[in-house]
Amino acid sequence: MLTFQGKSVLVLGGSRGIGAAIVRRFAAEGAVVTFTYAGSRDAADQLASETGSKAVLTDSANRDDVITRVRESGPLDILVVNAGIAIFGDALEQDPDAIDRLFQINIQAPYHASVEAARQMPDGGRIIVIGSVNGDRMPVPGMASYAVSKSALQGLARGLARDFGPRGITINVVQPGPVDTDANPENGPMKDLMHSFMAIKRHGRPEEVAGMVAWLAGPEAGFVTGAMHTIDGAFGA
């Protein structure tokens, strides 16, 4: 079904993992998709040629580049902010510049991209940000900066929903639990610990997250905004 026929979609961070599944989903449903990448040029080029989408180099750590990319993408029907990184380790040992870079990618880019997109977005547009169940629950040490960043997205969605609501523009956060990607491979060393927290004892698939994103972007979700949507096998329950 071509739910998104002709819709203009920008995915920030689309070259791999969950972002690539989101690009595939929108392209398969008829959207005109542009996605950004930072380090994975080969993967980006391959995905672009496979899906008929357009790959553009934009580092989400650079606020002005993100704003320019969104502005130059023209009026977007749908913005998805997926790019995100994690830093693991003792908070007392971590490089503050690295932590600030995480905040730039995980908090500042979603905020500025959402605001910039809303300037040109038609009424009824959709903004979806990929957060994490760690915005609600952080059961292990060493990931406080990541938890901070994903909790911040909750405030972003609640606040901007008020700003954009009068134009029918929705903004929502999708909060995955463990999903099988390069960042969190199902066969990694944390598998048993993570699955011990879950009711469904497996990693999620990127396509499952893309399905939730597509629903939020679709015609049935026009009354859903300022909300968090967890998809985590009950990791956070």
Residue numbers annotated as active site:
146
Give the CA angle between residues 185, 187, 188 to the nearest 5°: 65
Using alpha carbons, select from 33, 40, 31 the residue that is nearest to residue 4: 31
Taking the mean position of all CA atoms in its chain, how far away is CA 213?
9
Q: How far apart are CA 221 and CA 183, in angstroms?
A: 29
How far apart are the C-alpha atoms of 105 and 87, rounded to whole Å?
12
Residue 130 in contact with ligand NDP, rule: CB under 6 A? yes
Residue 82: CB minimum distance to ligand NDP, A: 5
| x/- track of binding to ligand NDP for residues 180-219 (CB under 6 A) | -xxxx-----------------------------------
Of 46-54, 81-89, 164-172, 218-226, which part binds ligand NDP (CB under 6 A)? 81-89
Among 40, 53, 170, 172, binds ligand NDP (CB under 6 A): 40
In the bound state with ligand NDP, the residue whose beta carbon lies nearer, of 157 and 162, is 157
Structure tokens at 164: 């954009």
Six-digit token pair at 77?
Answer: 């029907």
- Cα gap 81→84, rounded to integer Å: 9
- Among 9, 10, 18, 157, which residue interacts with ligand NDP (rule: CB under 6 A)? 18
Q: Would you give the end-to-end CA distance of the chain in angstroms?
A: 33
Q: How many residues bind ligand NDP (CB under 6 A)?
A: 30
Here's the x/- map for ligand NDP, 217-236, by CB under 6 A: it reads as --------------------
- Strands in 78-81's sheet, in edge-to-edge order, are 54-57, 32-37, 8-12, 78-81, 126-130, 170-176, 228-231
Residue 142 or residue 168: which is nearer to ligand NDP going by CB? 142
Q: What are phi and psi of 133, to 5 degrees?
A: -60, -20
Among 51, 82, 154, 170, which residue interacts with ligand NDP (rule: CB under 6 A)? 82
CA atoms within a 13 Å half-sphere pointing along the CA-CB vector of 127: 35
Binding of ligand NDP at residue 105 (CB under 6 A)? yes
| Contact between 13 and ligand NDP per CB under 6 A | yes
Span from 26-34, 36-44, 68-76, 220-228 in contact with ligand NDP (CB under 6 A): 36-44
Binding residues for ligand NDP, rule: CB under 6 A, are 13-19, 36-40, 44, 59-61, 82-85, 105, 130, 132, 176, 178-179, 181-184
